[in-house]
Structure 1
Amino acid sequence: MTQRRPLGLTTIYAALLAGALISAPALAAGDYPITPKQRETAQKVAQAGVPLSELAPNAPDTYTVKRGDTLWAISSLFLKSPWRWPELWGMNDDQIKNPHLIYPGQVLVLVKADGRARLQLGRDVTGGTNGDVKLSPRVRSTSLDDGSIASIPQHLIEPFLNEAIVLNTDELATAPRIVAAQENRVWMTKGELAYARGEFTGDSEYRIFRKAKPLVDPVTKEVLGYEAAYVGTADVVRPGSNAGGAQEVPTTLKIGVARQEVGVGDRLAPIPARGYTSYMPHAPSGPVDGLIVSVYGDAINAGQNQIVALNRGSANGMEKGHVLALWRTGRVVRDGTTEANDAIRLPDERHGSLFVFQVFDRVSYALVLTVQEPVTAGDRFTQP
């Protein structure tokens, strides 16, 4: 643990205020990349806290962090809109250079003053008389993968960061493809050999995808991109030779990860280098009105903690970390109180929230954070 000087009332973790959640193994706390936008956000809300009107009705005075908690879950105890947690965690601006996360066992203290609320990090250091407890601020500097809690349930989206891809065109149609298996098998699984043809890039590791399917806008019917279903991974065991010749020898692969059985015709794409993934929960800067294109996988409906594709991407101003509101379309009913028995449409009702974590040109993926009814293709979303 790195020793630090005692910190003031509103000193807590800059990663929370700056909104940084970094996915990188064993990354030292001093190496967190902070973007200019995150720094600007931190400077705007540092020391501010949130208005008392934004607190949840039964917000606790203290809370002890437990293993398995997420910042979203904790913030939902304190806030009506948990995605606003960066505003709740105040700290000194000079800590931006060295962000921190919170850990199981630490005590969070809700401090109310001057019409605003802030969270202070403390711990039980001494037991006083008459049951009094003394709370003392502290910070902790360490690597990311040592038990610190995540902003959102990271395990739910982690596989999609490398596995879910959307292509502007059906590029996989010309990618290297699996053409045969050992002993004339139709399907292959982990540890088995496969043989492939095509233009290989010289990489030793490849992702395996099934034929890409078009993602179609529910209203315009325009193809927004091509979603490739992830199958698994494969390592090159032996390169092919005499490509396209009369005596061509295909490339030999060994199946690694197999999310599902690998088949002849599946396509190959190099495994990209893993970079930093930074999430800053925030509302879109302007109005947003879009529709859910599909539920990821084979499901027709989506519930909490499932992934959906949206018909808005970076070309529409969508960003990682955007929090969106889900709406249920109002039903058409008959007004039985009149002789005309008029048909009327009930207003749309908000019934959930989305968290955008992966953005492509014209399509985004979002995690269903909360929902009251099943989500289906064609459902609407807006800014919160």
Structure 2
Amino acid sequence: MRKTIISLLFALSGAAGIAHADTLAIQDNAPDRYVVVKGDTLWGISGHFLKQPWRWPEIWNMNRDQIKNPHWIYPGDVVVLDRSGATPRLKLLKNERAGANGEVKLSPSVRVSDLDNNAVPSIPLASIQPFLNKPLVVEEGELLTAPRIAAGPDDRVVFASGDKIYAVNMPNAKVGEIYQAYRPSQPLYDPKDPEHKRVIGHEVTYLGDVSVEKPGAVVTLRVQASKEELGIGARLVKASDAEYLNYAPHAPDHDVKGLVVSAYGSVAEAGPMTTLVVNLGSADGLDVGTVLATWKAGRPIKKESKSEPDLFTPPERSGSVFVYRVFPHFSYGLLLDSTEPVNVADEVTNP
């Protein structure tokens, strides 16, 4: 198959659902071409050319249905920046069978499968794989009604792989279903609460998987795999079948403002490739692929006299968050392009 060239309009207006009033800005040191290699991400490739790499879907004039699973760049492809015209254009050189006119029209389509073969992902999958179907945060109130491990076949209080256990609060359990066991760790407090007392959720520790053997008022289960010991009182949640769809980045449909509630591992200062929990979710209009900006709060200006007003330095943008898992009131997001550490209570807004 011979090389074909696909031209991409670089500055578009009116892209359905993702249009912006300003023009896409090219990096000052953008290369003339870039060869895609294994391990690249769409975010990283775009960063070579765009000052705002999350805006690459606009190059394709893609609508919200089309920006799901954009499997269209592979290692070996060459991205070329064409500066010859009035409007800069990108060209993608691909090994594809050309049409009669020698060109191929590339139309990213929606797919419902996992990332195929060697297609370049939006963001590093290795950084988010542990969080795609494991519980990380549960909302306040869920713990009280969640199914729980209540007993074992003997007087033991901890269990491991292969053990038979019993659970309650599982009226809809079915034979063969898989549940994930977890235990609550530290509570998450509302960053807006000055007294730091209002709990809005709980970080949880994933313990292992169990399967249903016999439903009933007391359900019989079998421990299939254990990362840590499962104990009496551990909570259960039905394993999610949801897989990560390689969504393209996009801004929220409307103005949003939230806060960083937690950083994975309870780190004090989060850096690049850290999973953050923000207090915005599907109820706020977020979905997979939403990009948020993180901001450092302004610092107080030191006064020379008590009569001076309270003044603060302007807020400074510190990074971008790519949302990859969404719940009603929380979302997990991967911190990208951070220029300084991100802390709990830092603000997140539209990029």
Mark yes or no: TM-score above 0.5: yes
Q: Deviations over 1:37-96 (max 9, x none)?
A: xx9459x79xxxx95x601111111111111100001111111111011123469xxx99
1:56 aligns with 2:27: yes
Q: Is residue 2:223 matched to residue 1:254?
A: yes
Distance 1:300 1:179, change over 3 A: farther
Displacement, 1:166?
Answer: 5.2
- Code of the residue aligned with 1:202 in structure 2: it is K
Partner deviation per Cα, 1:352-384 (whole Å, 9 max, x = no partner)? 111122222222222111223322211112212
Are the equivalent residues in 2 in contact too, given 1:314–1:360 (CA < 8 A)? yes
Which position in structure 2 is the counterpart of 1:367?
334
Q: Is the 2:140–2:200 contact (alpha carbons within 8 Å) kept by the matching residues of 1?
A: no
Q: Quick check: which has more Rg, 1 or 2?
A: 1
Are 2:206 and 1:230 equivalent residues in the alignment?
Answer: yes
The amino acid of 1:70's aligned partner reads T
Which residue is equivalent to 1:149? 120
Structure 1 residue 163: Cα displacement: 1.3
Distance 2:6 2:339 in 1: 41
SS at match of 1:371: coil
Question: Which residue is equivalent to 1:350?
Answer: 317
Q: Establish whether residue 287 from structure 1 lines up as the match of residue 285 from structure 2.
A: no
Correspondent of 1:304 among 245, 268, 272 = 272
* Structure 2 counterparts to residues 160-309 of structure 1, below 5 A: 160-164=131-135, 167=138, 170-180=141-151, 186-189=157-160, 191-200=161-170, 201-204=173-176, 205-211=178-184, 215-220=188-193, 223-225=199-201, 227-236=203-212, 238-239=213-214, 243=217, 251-256=220-225, 258-274=226-242, 277=245, 279-309=247-277
Partner of residue 75 from structure 1, selected from 46, 49, 52: 46
- Unaligned residue ranges in structure 1 (runs of 5+): 18-38, 126-134, 245-249
Instruction: Give the equivalent residue in structure 1 for 2:99.
Output: none
Change (3 A) 1:335 1:115: farther
The number of residues matched between the two structures is 329
Inter-partner Cα distance in structure 2 for 1:382 and 1:323: 9
Partners of 1:320 and 1:124 lie apart in 2 by 30
Q: Cα distance 1:339–1:214, how it changes in 2: closer, same or farther (>3 A)?
A: closer
Query: What's the CA shift string for 1:234-273, capped at 9, x where partnerless?
Result: 223x4377x46xxxxx6241232x3433222112222233
Question: Structure 2 vs 1, CA of residues 167 and 4 (structure 1 numbering), >3 Å: closer, same or farther?
Answer: farther
TM-score normalised over the length of structure 2: 0.76
**Structure 2 alignment gaps of length 5 or more:** 97-101
Higher deviation after alignment, 324-333 or 339-348: 339-348
Which has more helix, going by share of residues? 1
Equivalent position of 1:31 in the other structure: none
Q: CA separation in 2, counterparts of 1:118 and 1:262?
A: 56
Cα shift readout 1:156-176 (whole Å, capped 9, x = no counterpart) = 223323213655552343333
| Identity fraction in percent | 40
Shift of 1:137: 6.6
In the alignment, which of 8, 11, 16 is matched to residue 10 of structure 1?
A: 8
Question: Deviation digits for residues 303-360 of structure 1, max 9, x if unmatched?
Answer: 2111112122222233322211111122224256x89888642222112111122222
Q: Over the residues paired in the alignment, what is the CA RMSD in angstroms?
A: 4.1
Structure 1's 362 and 162: CA in aligned 2 closer, same or farther, altered over 3 A? same
User: What does residue 382 of structure 1 align with?
Assistant: 349
What CA distance in whole angstroms lies between the structure 2 residues aligned with 1:376 and 1:194?
Answer: 42
Deviations along 1:10-54, one digit per CA (max 9) or x if unpaired, are 399xxxx9xxxxxxxxxxxxxxxxxxxxx9459x79xxxx95x60
Question: Judging changes above 3 Å, is the alpha-carbon distance between structure 1 residues 340 and 40 closer, same or farther for their aligned structure 2 residues?
Answer: closer
| Structure-1 separation of matches of 2:3 and 2:38 | 27
CA distance in 2, matches of 1:60, 1:353: 23
Q: Report how far residue 199 of structure 1 moved.
A: 4.2
Match of 1:131 in 2: none
Matches of 2:131 and 2:69 in 1, distance apart? 28
- Distance in structure 2 (CA, Å) of the matches to 1:296 and 1:75: 27
Alpha-carbon distance between aligned partners in 2 of 1:40 and 1:341, rounded to the nearest angstrom: 49
